[in-house]
């Protein structure tokens, strides 16, 4: 189901009832989607969903040596706009 922000404002109880019945509602404003209302389920929603790409193995890089920051950032950040 799709509705405009104005329609949602005027008919919120009807639209929320549709979500309660299991419908997923996209709310648009000036022709672009701004919100999605979906029914609450017992399944937890992950903080950072990875679908439809699946699990992402992010590489972790280790330099092999610890950096001594006691002297401040100094030249370590040269060239990075610091």
Could you report the per-residue pLDDT of 4-34, keeping only the tens digit for each? Answer: 999 999 999 999 999 888 899 999 999 999 9
Residue 66: per-residue pLDDT: 73
Query: Mean of the pLDDT values across residues 47-74?
Result: 65
Token pair 């950096």 in the structure block, residue:
67
State the pairing for strand pair 2-4/25-29.
parallel
- pTM for the model: 0.49
Reduce the DSSP state of residue 49 to 3 states and report it: coil
Domain ranges, ordered by start, for the chain: 2-36
Give the distance, in angstroms, between the CA of residue 15 and the centroid of all CA atoms in the same chain: 23
Residue 43: per-residue pLDDT: 72
Whether 4 and 28 have beta carbons less than 8 Å apart is answered as yes
Residue 69: per-residue pLDDT: 67
């Amino acid at each position: 189901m799709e509705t405009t922000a104005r329609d949602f404002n005027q008919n919120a109880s009807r639209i929320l009832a549709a979500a309660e019945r299991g419908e997923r509602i996209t709310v648009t404003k000036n022709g672009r989607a701004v919100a999605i209302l979906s029914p609450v389920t017992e399944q937890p929603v992950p903080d950072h969903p990875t679908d439809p790409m699946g699990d992402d193995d992010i590489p972790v890089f280790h330099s092999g040596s610890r950096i001594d920051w006691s002297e401040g950032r100094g030249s370590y950040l040269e060239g990075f706009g610091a």
